[in-house]
Amino acid sequence: GPTTVDVRVTGLTPGPHGFHLHEYGDTTNGCISTGAHFNPNNMTHGAPEDEVRHAGDLGNIVANADGVAEVKIVDNQILLSGPNTVVGRAFVVHELEDDLGKGGHELSLTTGNAGGRLACGVVGLTP
């Protein structure tokens, strides 16, 4: 079944920011170490509701005037066990709005043209 993720990020510039699950839970060199979008099915970038999308394509989170983004994401491609588990991978907040693969930019079908990486965190389970 679907997995629910409760997201709360502070310190952002107001407005939309791409929010993705990336391949690696490695923050050794900051968020760049997290690799590309998690994409076990070798698809192009898309919106969370699209059939053709990276498993890690979670759309946008929107920061309010105080720089706080809070959202509940329910997704069928975020698995907590098995070979495509998201545990040990990283969530990344991007600088710009994700165009959901529909922007016509050369990066639209790989990254959603969402810009640089502002913040990241490794997915873990707590008892």
Q: What is the set of active-site residues?
A: 20, 22, 37, 45, 54, 57, 94, 117
Residue 18 vs residues 62, 97, 125, 126: alpha-carbon distances, Å: 9, 5, 23, 26
Q: Which residue's entry shows tokens 């929107």?
A: 62
User: If you ran DSSP here, which 8-state letter would residue 85 be given?
Assistant: B
Q: Which residue's entry shows tokens 């990336």?
A: 22
Q: Which residue's entry shows tokens 């192009």?
A: 44
Token reading at 90? 């990283």
- Which region, left, alpha or beta, applies to residue 33 given φ > 0 means left and ψ of -120 to 50 means alpha? alpha
